[in-house]
Amino acid sequence: MIDIEHVRAETPACEHVLHFNNAGASLMPAPVFDAVQRVLHEENSVGGYEAERRASEDLAAFYTEFAGLLNAEADEIAYVENATRAWDMAFYGLDLRAGDRVITHGSEYASNYLAFLQQSKRRDLCIDIAPSDRFGQIDLEGLERLITPKTKLIAITHVPTQGGLVNPALDVGKVARRHNLLYLLDACQSVGQIDVDVKAIGCDVLSGTGRKFLRGPRGTGFLYVRRKVLQQIDPPFLDLRAAVWTGPHSYELADGARRFENWESFVAGRVGLMAAVRYARQIGLGAIEERVTMLAETLRQSLGVVKGVTVHDLGQKKCGIVTFQKAGVEPSQMAEILRANQINVSVSSLPSARLDLGERGLQSLVRASVHYFNTENEIDRFVRAVDEI
């Protein structure tokens, strides 16, 4: 059980904001905010390098805390400044050649698909889009039918930005292993609200962010790379943290996933993200997932009876993201009205998810995303506000 009163007390913004924008950027709990502020204070007091030395234990704990969160090994974890750059470090490092095929799904996020398009022009890759099943998630049989001898990679998004769908990542992992394919999973929207186990899923690479459901600071991200595939990914750029300059014409890559890191980084953010992971693990990801799922389903059902409202979430399994429209009200207009009433939501629009929203004939959706610190009373208030618009 989660002590809701306690976690809300440690989230001071709950006193004056109804925050249903956790898929955008969640509210930092006090221990995370304090961890960031502590490092910034020391940077201001004694200097940046000195503050980093004082934070050495917390910086080392970043790797062990993430390893515990994801059921990984500490040397399989890298700190990267955001989720997209973490994903890029892996994808752009793959030895993909002309004629090679990459399989993705219509729920894919814009940044990832733009990378596919760029590399298809640079390297003459082929992009295959797996079909959706009747729930809107990736169709496993259709995925298998797309695999050819030229297929090198399956790259999907676990939870898309534009809805509550949860793709069957574990089952996709079974397909990837059966065909000996690399498997890249974008977990930007899932880690922190879903109990993610990389060993169970079987992904080779997983990327994510700190600011969303992990409740960490902005400008922070992470990358998991399975030990056995490290040699198959050549980091697209190096610095003196990612490699050692061993001679005038030679270098050696750093051990483990740290070869994907930069020497210069947001030290306070790294410490804050570590604190956010520790905070989530203390609560328990199983308990978090259970509560988030319950709150989101309550919100969907409550919105579903409001006149003029249509809920648009796909998926057999759904998560804490709830997307909807109200007849006669543009989603951006609704977001502004709600914000004026201290209610935070965001808007998912066509350029962020063109394959999915375009297929469904949708230009934009209101995106309300709950987290475990939200309450049933907040859902009631939110639904009333939507009803009155």
pLDDT tens digit string along 168-182? 999 999 999 999 999
Q: Which domain holds residue 356?
A: 4-27+285-388
Supply the Cα-derived Rg of the chain in whole angstroms: 21
In the chain, the number of structural domains is 2
Q: For strand 343-344 and strand 18-19, is the pairing parallel, antiparallel, or unpaired?
A: parallel
What's the whole-number average pLDDT of the chain? 98
- Looking at the fold, whether 243 and 336 belong to one and the same domain comes out as no
Give the pair of three-digit tokens for residue 240: 């003196």
CATH number at residue 352: 3.90.1150.10
Q: Are 167 and 319 in contact (CB under 8 A)?
A: no
- Looking at the fold, whether 298 and 357 belong to one and the same domain comes out as yes
Q: For 85-112, b where at least 16 C-beta lie within 10 A, e where not — what string?
A: ebbbbbbbbbebeeebbbbbbbbbbbbb
Question: What is the residue type of 67?
Answer: A
- Looking at the fold, whether 236 and 383 belong to one and the same domain comes out as no
- Looking at the fold, whether 44 and 170 belong to one and the same domain comes out as yes
- Looking at the fold, whether 114 and 229 belong to one and the same domain comes out as yes
* pLDDT attached to residue 81: 96
The contacts of residue 212 (CB under 8 Å, 6+ apart) are 22, 23, 24, 25, 26, 188, 189, 192
Q: For strand 321-326 and strand 309-311, is the pairing parallel, antiparallel, or unpaired?
A: antiparallel
For residues 77 and 260, give the distance between their C-alpha atoms in angstroms, rounded to a whole number: 9
- The closest of 311, 113, 273 to 192, measured between CA atoms, is 273
- Looking at the fold, whether 310 and 265 belong to one and the same domain comes out as no
- Looking at the fold, whether 259 and 169 belong to one and the same domain comes out as yes
* pLDDT attached to residue 288: 98
> In this structure, what DSSP letter does residue 157 have?
E
Question: What is the residue type of 205?
Answer: V
pLDDT tens digit string along 148-163? 999 999 999 999 999 9
Q: Final residue of a domain: which of 247, 282, 317? A: 282
Tens of pLDDT, residue by residue, the chain (389 residues)? 899 999 999 999 999 999 999 999 999 999 999 999 999 999 999 999 999 999 999 999 999 999 999 999 999 999 999 999 999 999 999 999 999 999 999 999 999 999 999 999 999 999 999 999 999 999 999 999 999 999 999 999 999 999 999 999 999 999 999 999 999 999 999 999 999 999 999 999 999 999 999 999 999 999 999 999 999 999 999 999 999 999 999 999 999 999 999 999 999 999 999 999 999 999 999 999 999 999 999 999 999 999 999 999 999 999 999 999 999 999 999 999 999 999 999 999 999 999 999 999 999 999 999 999 999 999 999 999 999 99
| Phi/psi at 60 (5° precision) | -70, -35
* pLDDT attached to residue 54: 98
- Looking at the fold, whether 166 and 183 belong to one and the same domain comes out as yes
Q: For strand 151-157 and strand 182-186, is the pairing parallel, antiparallel, or unpaired?
A: parallel
- Looking at the fold, whether 326 and 257 belong to one and the same domain comes out as no
For residues 175 and 39, give the distance between their C-alpha atoms in angstroms, rounded to a whole number: 44
* pLDDT attached to residue 82: 97
- Looking at the fold, whether 21 and 108 belong to one and the same domain comes out as no
Q: For 114-134, b where at least 16 C-beta lie within 10 A, e where not — what string?
A: ebbeebeeeeebeebbbebbe
Give the pair of three-digit tokens for residue 168: 């069957």
Q: Final residue of a domain: which of 257, 282, 307? A: 282
CATH number at residue 221: 3.40.640.10
The contacts of residue 29 (CB under 8 Å, 6+ apart) are 7, 10, 11, 215, 276, 279
- Taking the whole predicted model, whether its pTM rises above 0.95 is answered as yes
pLDDT tens digit string along 201-221? 999 999 999 999 999 999 999
- Looking at the fold, whether 15 and 73 belong to one and the same domain comes out as no
- Looking at the fold, whether 170 and 69 belong to one and the same domain comes out as yes
Q: Final residue of a domain: which of 282, 298, 313? A: 282
